[in-house]
Structure 1
Amino acid sequence: MLTLREILEKQNGFAPVIHSAKPFKKLDFSESNEALVQRDLSETSVFSQFVFDEMLENNAFTGIGGYAENRIIYRQRKHFNNADNQPRSIHLGTDIWANAGEPIYAPLDATVHSFAFNDHYGDYGPTIILAHALNNVVFYTLYGHLSLDSLEGLYVGKNISANEKFAAIGSYPENGDWPPHLHFQIIKDMGNYQGDFPGVSSIQDSEHYLNLCPDPNLIFEDSGKLFSNLTLTPLQVR
């Protein structure tokens, strides 16, 4: 039986998750970004200004990146720190940094698995999880930091067609108090989670969670692009 990774590698015809008219730029939120290390980004307005004015050069680009990245930005948010001294910093999805209100499209046919308003500082905010089936294998995609009205009219089991607009990027503070972006994540097994799933793991648990949550580029690189105008090769997207 094929693994989920093998199925996604063989599948043709994924639709773009975002139809952006702006060129693509990969963003780095690890310690190697010296400008990031030197900033206090605990205030969301300051963080948003840094992302869109500086990293995205006055909002001239749409940003992407972050899968398996060890992110220092989580040190400034209590949501990712816990009492057992295993802070979470390994990012399990890919982020797409774009303006609030940017439409989100389903990459393939789906049904709504669950949804929730994860209303805590640093959390997902409005979240939708879609279920998909390929080659009789069920898997899931998670969309976090959405607009609150993205949850309106949803119900478990609702059909969503490939390339159908079903949500939009949210603004802060309703999106979990982050600069506007989409958190996109593939999940093999939801377990008992409903409307939520870890999007960041500790270093100690990263091997388990990265195996459970494959690289979103397995979906994005099918057509060689994430966005409808992206011309970079799949290897450049990684």
Structure 2
Amino acid sequence: MPTSSFESVLQSLDAFPVLGHAYLNHDYVPLDLSVDNLDLQSINVSSSQDLEAYIWKHMKTQDAKIAYGGYLEKRGIYNRSEYFNQNNPETERNIHLGIDLWIEANAPIYAPLDGQLHSFKDNSGFGNYGPTLILEHQLNGVKFYTLYGHLSHNSLNKNTVGDKINEGQQIATLGTAEVNGDYPPHLHFQIIKDIQGNLGDYPGVCSQGELEYYKNNCPDPNLLF
């Protein structure tokens, strides 16, 4: 299925909200964490506590419950971790490939579409995903995947690869900074066309040189929302 057709079909789906139906449109507010956001220059983004205070203040001033955004956003918040190769400008990974939904820890996470559990893993380490689930889906005979990062440890319990997952089924809860790679609580949600043999993990941030490939392989998650 050509990219344009695949994305058009994604956009036509009536997907279940990954945070559930408890929230209305006005509960969401966009959040800019790009290098172009001058407000971040006064924030110590290396500190999960300082970044969380900034995000929660942003939500409070907008009378919102969830902050969202980040697809293809070039960010400086990854400079704190060697995991993103920040010491080499040619391979530095700082372009975000999913959408982030910033909300309190332990918030329930739901499957947007029918599928099955492809894989899961605790991607531990400073700056990494922490507990992660990947679901496999079929769309007009085409296989694709959705990734859920920065979950709680409990989200990995009692899972079996191949388990059938129903649209709207709760699949996880969000983790805290202590387990999610040291970030303020949030869900990293990503669509992946070719999983490239990965299990429980897939790059969520890429370098400028890799951008064209990943932009094609990881369509805009907003198409489902």
**TM-score, scaled to structure 1:** 0.87
Please, which of 72, 77, 97 is the counterpart of residue 81 of structure 2? Answer: 77
Please, which of 23, 36, 41 is the counterpart of residue 37 of structure 1? Answer: 41
Identify the residue that residue 124 of structure 2 maps to in structure 1.
119
Identify the residue that residue 227 of structure 1 maps to in structure 2.
none
Segments of 4+ in structure 1 off by > 3 A? 82-85
Count of matched residue positions in the alignment of Structure 1 and Structure 2: 218
Q: Are residue 97 (structure 1) and residue 102 (structure 2) matched?
A: yes
Identify the residue that residue 146 of structure 1 maps to in structure 2.
151
**Cα distance between partner residues in 1 of 2:28 and 2:170:** 21
Identify the residue that residue 21 of structure 1 maps to in structure 2.
23
CA contact (8 A) 1:106 1:160 kept: yes
Q: Are residue 57 (structure 1) and residue 60 (structure 2) matched?
A: yes
**Cα distance between partner residues in 2 of 1:116 and 1:161:** 21
SS of equivalent residue, structure 2 residue 202:
coil
**Cα distance between partner residues in 2 of 1:42 and 1:88:** 16
Matched letter for residue 13 of structure 1: D
Query: Bigger shift: 178-187 or 25-34?
Result: 25-34
TM-aligned CA distance change 1:194 to 1:80, over 3 Å: same
**Cα distance between partner residues in 2 of 1:96 and 1:32:** 20
**Cα distance between partner residues in 2 of 1:139 and 1:84:** 32
**Cα distance between partner residues in 2 of 1:192 and 1:60:** 38
Matched letter for residue 185 of structure 1: Q
Please, which of 8, 15, 30 is the counterpart of residue 10 of structure 2? Answer: 8
Q: Are residue 106 (structure 1) and residue 115 (structure 2) matched?
A: no
CA contact (8 A) 1:4 1:188 kept: no
C-alpha RMSD of matched pairs (Å): 1.6
Q: Are residue 217 (structure 1) and residue 222 (structure 2) matched?
A: yes
**Cα distance between partner residues in 2 of 1:21 and 1:15:** 12
**Cα distance between partner residues in 2 of 1:84 and 1:32:** 21
How big is each residue's C-alpha offset from its partner over 1:61-105, in whole Å with a ceiling of 9 and x where there is no partner? Answer: 310000011111112222212564321111000000000011101
Q: Are residue 191 (structure 1) and residue 196 (structure 2) matched?
A: yes
How big is each residue's C-alpha offset from its partner over 1:195-233, in whole Å with a ceiling of 9 and x where there is no partner? Answer: 00000000111111111100001111xxxxxxxxxxxxx
Identify the residue that residue 136 of structure 2 maps to in structure 1.
131
**Cα distance between partner residues in 2 of 1:27 and 1:162:** 27
Matched letter for residue 56 of structure 1: M
CA contact (8 A) 2:43 2:50 kept: no
Matched letter for residue 40 of structure 1: N
Please, which of 168, 173, 176 is the counterpart of residue 168 of structure 1? Answer: 173
**TM-score, scaled to structure 2:** 0.91
**Cα distance between partner residues in 2 of 1:56 and 1:79:** 29
